Amino acid sequence: MSDDAAKPMSDVVEAVYRSESRQVLATLIRLLGDFDTAEEALHEAFAAAVEQWARDGLPANPRAWLVSTGRFKAIDGLRRRARFDASLSELAKQLETSTDDAAEWDDEHVEDDRLRLIFTCCHPALPPESQVAMTLREVCGLTTEEIARAFLTKPATIAQRIVRAKAKIRDARIPYVVPSERDLPDRLEAVLRVVYLVFNEGYSASSGGSLTRHDLSGEAIRLGRVLIALLPEPEAMGLLAMMLLQDSRCAARTSPTGDLILLEEQDRSLWNREQIAEGVSLVERALSAPRIGPYSIQAAIAAVHAQAPSAAATDWAQIVGLYDLLMQAEPSPVIELNRAVAVAMRDGPSAGLAIIDAVLARGDLANYHLAHSARADLCRRLEKTADARAAYERALSLTQQEPERRFLQRRLSELKD
């Protein structure tokens, strides 16, 4: 077959890879019991697909074909290596007899496999940074280079984290299962935290030349959709709702030159109304649960912002009340800071400044640039120019993100002596 005739099928294989590879990998990990073996089998299966599908046509069930081919390739590879290591021969026999039921490769079992994979990558025995790296690599399919670029880390560092995580899973015999009903709440919290961290880094990058990293926020939203499709828990709905509502403002958050635009100055006609409608619907479902968790409360706050026609028309009293509830559910200095900003909008800048000063006086958030930026803004509104300048300079010394640096420098230049 000529290259021109083969090209359309190669495009089909590429499309199947994009849509199915993570599900196929999850099933192969279950069948073969090892991440590296499963990944090698996945790539061999797709390599075989390029050749065989071009010759024989697309199979009726590409996913099942890939799982079956990957499993066969793995077993065949073990048999070849068994000539040098007799123990592998027995392993190949075990895999052949224990993984020959094609009924276990249907959609229902594959969806279970995806859920198992997410929980395995986010197992509490793994360090948080390894949980994030494993989730992005194994569940989302990002390369080590893409993960490293997203978090401004060397690819070798990410690769090392993934290798160590896989070794930990293997050596500690971490089970490839969905947690029991008793253990599910704690384990689900770890999964949600990882998705939340991935989204936050995408929504507001910690450093670099761009305000956002759409690949990361997009992956987090995709993960959130997978999670509630497989496990429709209220907090999973709340997290997805929060991400959709925050992300709905994406087009309005930066100028054409990449400069930061604050919420109160954004063109709300640019907000994504479809995402807002979906997010609000999810919030309503999450808030109907007997117990309301922190992600659902954050989503409710985002929904109030999303539904307000302008910053001035925002129901700041409701937002402060929701922050009060959030402080009870998950107290933290950052939440206290966010509440202070809402109080300033409801009661005036002096009221908000008093809260921020109390937080900073305790030593909390001393190195958090947004705390000093918020303090600077309130001082500016109160015409406390010297205090505002000092706070802007402190925030500028702490931030590593270029759009935020330009914003702070512009605010400094606008201050009157």
pLDDT at 105: 44
Crossing angle of the two packed helices 107-121 and 3-32, in degrees rounded to 10: 70
Residue pLDDT, tens place only, 359-408: 999 988 898 999 999 999 999 999 999 999 999 999 999 987 888 999 99
Here the contacts of 230-234 (C-beta below 8 Å, separation 24 or greater) are 230/111, 230/112, 230/114, 230/115, 231/115, 231/188, 233/188, 234/285, 234/286, 234/289, 234/291, 234/292, 234/293, 234/296
pLDDT by 10s per residue, the chain, length 417: 444 444 578 888 988 998 888 889 988 888 888 888 899 999 999 999 999 998 888 998 899 899 989 988 888 777 766 554 555 455 445 545 555 454 444 444 445 787 788 888 889 889 988 998 898 888 888 788 878 866 667 899 999 999 999 999 988 888 887 777 777 777 888 889 888 888 887 787 666 667 777 777 888 898 899 888 878 899 999 999 999 999 999 999 988 888 889 999 999 999 999 999 999 999 999 999 988 999 999 999 999 999 999 988 999 999 999 999 999 999 999 999 999 999 999 999 999 999 999 999 998 889 899 999 999 999 999 999 999 999 999 999 998 788 899 999 999 999 976
Residue pLDDT, tens place only, 98-113: 554 544 444 444 457 8
pTM confidence score: 0.74
Q: In this structure, are residues 276 and 248 in contact, taking their beta carbons and an 8 Å threshold?
A: yes
